[in-house]
Structure 1
Amino acid sequence: MDLRLLRYFVSVAEELHFTRAAERLHISQPALSKQVRLLESQLRMKLLRRSSRHVELTDAGRALLPQARRLLDQWSQSLAATRAAAAEENRTLRVGFVANACGELTPRIFQEFARRRPDWKVTMSQAAWGDPTCGLRDRHVDVAFLRVPVPADECFHQRVLLSEPRWVVLPAGHRLAAHAVVPFAALLDEPFVATPVESGVWRDFWLAVEERAGHPVRIGAEVRSSDEWMEAIANGFGVCFTAESTARFYTRPGVVYRPVDRISPTRVALAWHRDDRRRIVADFVAVCTAVAEG
C-alpha cells in the first residue's frame, strides 16, 4: 500500500471537497481524484460518494478514516525517530528557517555554536511558505527560526530572539511608493500577496487581519516562496507586509520597501519540540539566547 494514497484519502475525507483537499495537498484536483480512485480500486470498495455538488463517506470510508489517520501518524513518528537517530549518530543539528532566518544574528549564532560544539555540524533547511513551522511540525528539523505566530505552537517551546517593525513591499510604480511612511489605512483596500491558506494564523498575521477591525482582505495572488513573492509584487499583483530586515536581505528592481504606521511588530523565535530534551538542542537554545541578548 502506498501511504501517499492514504494521505490523499484522509485529506478528501476531512475536507469533503476535492478542490479544497487538492489545494491543501498542493496537487491538481484531477490528479487527486485519480489517486483516490486508484486507492478504491486497490481496496476493491467505494470509500466516497461523489456528485457535482457533494462528497460524502461511505460506511467503508468512515471505517477506514480513523485507522488511516492512526497509520499515518505512526509512520510519521517512526520516520521522525529514524531521522533524529541518524542526525544524532552523524552529530548533525538540523535547523529550519524561513526567509532571512534570524537576520543579522544568524551568522553570529552559528559561529558561536561552532565554537562551543566543534564536534557537531549544522544543516539548514529553508521551508516553503505553506509550512510556517519550517519542518518542525513534521520533525524534519530539530529546531527552527520562526516568524511567530505559527499553527500548532502549543507543541513547541519558543524563545523570542528579536522584534522588528513590519514594513510594506510595493511595486516600484505604486501610488504609495512616494510616501516616506505609508499610512496603514491607505493599504486596507489594496490587493495583497498572501501565503497559502494552510498557513493559517501565519497568513492572517501577514495580512494584518487583527489590525483591520473587520475590514475585508483582497487577495491578489498566493505564493509559496520568496522568489514567487517578489515576482508577484514586482508584476503588480499586490502589496505585502514584511519585516524591516527584508529590505536589507531582498533587494531587487521593481519593488520598494516603506515603513507603515500603526501596525504591530514581527518577532523571530527559536522553536523546538516540548518533548525534545537532548543536550545538543539545549546548547543551541543557549547559544541563540546569549547572542540575542548580547
Structure 2
Amino acid sequence: MDLDLRKVRYFVAVADELHFGRAAERLHIAQPVLSRQIRALEDELGVQLFVRTKRATELTSAGRQLLDDARSLLASADATRRRVAQAARGPKTFTIGFMPGLTVTAAVRAFGAVHPDVGIELIRTTWDDQVDVLHDGRVDVSVVRLPIDQSGLTVRPLFDEPRVAMLPVGHRLAGKPVVDITDLAGEHLLQDPDAVPEWRDIAVELRTRTAQPVPAMRSVEEKLEHVAAGRGVSIVPLSVATFYQRSDVAMVRVESLAPNTVCLAWIAARRSRLLPEFADLAQQVPWTP
C-alpha cells in the first residue's frame, strides 16, 4: 500500500490543531471533505488515528506514531520536488545555510570567483533547523555546529573554537579573565543541558531536581535578553559572543569546556559537483572565530 501524501498532509493539519474545523480552515477545504479524507486514511492504514468526542479531538497511539513519521516524510517529498526541479533547470543557484556568529564571506567569494554563472543565496539557520534545511531542500550546503544528527549527511570539519559563558554584566564572575565550569555550578543554564554536556556533572539544580524551565528562545538576541535580565547564564561559541557583544552582558572564558566544532554538511545522496567543490574551497579559506 502506498501512502497518499495529500491525506498525510491533511492528517498533520488535524494533528497540529486537534480540531477538524480549524484544520479545514487552515487547509482551505470544507470540514466534511477533511473528515472523509481522514476516515479514508484510517481505512487504508487499518487503524484509528483520532478519538473524537464532543469536547475534544485526541491522537491515538497509532496517530502519534504516524505524526512522528509524517513530518519527515512530507519534508523529504518536498525536498525531492525542489531537487528534481533544480536538476531540470541546471545549477543556476546555490544556497548556503550558516549559523549565527559565522561569517561565510570568504568561502562565498572564492566559490563565486570559480562559478560566476551560479547565483549564490544565503539562509541564516538556528540550532533547531541547521540540519532540517538540508533535508527539506531549502539549502544545498550548511555550515553547522556540532553536535548534529549526521544520518544521511556528508560532514567535513572546518575549525574548532572555544566556548564562553555569557553573564549579566553585574554578575559576581563578570570581569574575571577566566573561570572554571565548577564556578557556575549554582547558575541557571538558559539552554538545553544536552548542549553543554559538562554541565550535567556539576549543575546544582539538576542534582537537586529544582531545575527551572528554560524559556522558549528562537534567536541569540532573545537568549542574551534573558541573560541581561539576570534570569541565568548561557554557554556559546566565541564567534557568537563576539558577534553579539552588548554592554549589559559580559563574556568570560571558561576552563574545562570542550571546543565547538564547525563543519560543512550536505545530503550524502546529492550528486551535484558543486557540493564537493564548495567544500574544498571552504576548507582552504581562512575562518575567524
Whether TM-score is above 0.5 comes out as yes
| 1:43 matches 2:41 | no
Match runs of 1:208-223 below 5 Å:
208-213=196-201, 215=203, 216=206, 218-223=212-217
Cα contact 1:166–1:242 (8 A) shared by 2 = yes
- Match for 1:148 among 137, 146, 149? 146
* Unmatched runs of 5 consecutive residues or more in structure 2: 1-5, 25-30, 40-47
Q: CA deviation at 1:273?
A: 0.7
Q: CA deviation at 1:158?
A: 0.7
Letter of the 2:19 partner, please give it.
Answer: K
| 1:228 matches 2:226 | no
Equivalent residue, structure 1, for 2:188: 191
SS of equivalent residue, structure 2 residue 170: coil
Equivalent residue, structure 2, for 1:112: 110
Letter of the 1:123 partner, please give it.
Answer: E
Q: CA deviation at 1:38?
A: 4.6
SS of equivalent residue, structure 1 residue 282: helix
Q: CA deviation at 1:69?
A: 7.3
Q: CA deviation at 1:254?
A: 1.1
* Unmatched runs of 5 consecutive residues or more in structure 1: 13-21, 23-31, 195-202
- Match for 1:6 among 7, 11, 34? 11
Equivalent residue, structure 2, for 1:33: 18
* Residues 71, 191 of structure 1: alpha-carbon distance in 2 compared, 3 angstrom cutoff: closer
Cα contact 2:78–2:136 (8 A) shared by 1 = no
Q: CA deviation at 1:156?
A: 0.8
* Residues 132, 35 of structure 1: alpha-carbon distance in 2 compared, 3 angstrom cutoff: farther
- Match for 1:57 among 47, 55, 60? 60
**Aligned partners of 2:188, 2:21: CA distance in 1, in Å?**
36
Superposition RMSD in Å: 3.3
**Aligned partners of 2:177, 2:116: CA distance in 1, in Å?**
46
Cα contact 2:227–2:249 (8 A) shared by 1 = yes
**Aligned partners of 1:173, 1:2: CA distance in 2, in Å?**
55
Equivalent residue, structure 1, for 2:42: none
SS of equivalent residue, structure 1 residue 186: helix
- Match for 1:267 among 261, 265, 281? 261
Q: CA deviation at 1:86?
A: 4.5
SS of equivalent residue, structure 1 residue 247: helix
Over alpha carbons, which structure has the higher Rg?
2
**Aligned partners of 1:129, 1:99: CA distance in 2, in Å?**
9
Letter of the 2:112 partner, please give it.
Answer: A
Letter of the 1:231 partner, please give it.
Answer: E
- Number of residue pairs aligned between Structure 1 and Structure 2: 255
SS of equivalent residue, structure 1 residue 182: strand
SS of equivalent residue, structure 1 residue 167: strand
What TM-score comes out, normalization by structure 2 length?
0.75
SS of equivalent residue, structure 1 residue 145: strand
Letter of the 1:117 partner, please give it.
Answer: H
Cα contact 1:3–1:72 (8 A) shared by 2 = no
What TM-score comes out, normalization by structure 1 length?
0.74
| 1:255 matches 2:252 | no
**Aligned partners of 2:163, 2:281: CA distance in 1, in Å?**
26
**Aligned partners of 2:86, 2:147: CA distance in 1, in Å?**
28
Letter of the 1:77 partner, please give it.
Answer: S
Q: CA deviation at 1:275?
A: 0.3
SS of equivalent residue, structure 1 residue 192: coil
Match runs of 1:77-92 below 5 Å:
77-88=76-87, 89=89, 91-92=92-93
**Aligned partners of 1:191, 1:47: CA distance in 2, in Å?**
40
**Aligned partners of 1:129, 1:35: CA distance in 2, in Å?**
32
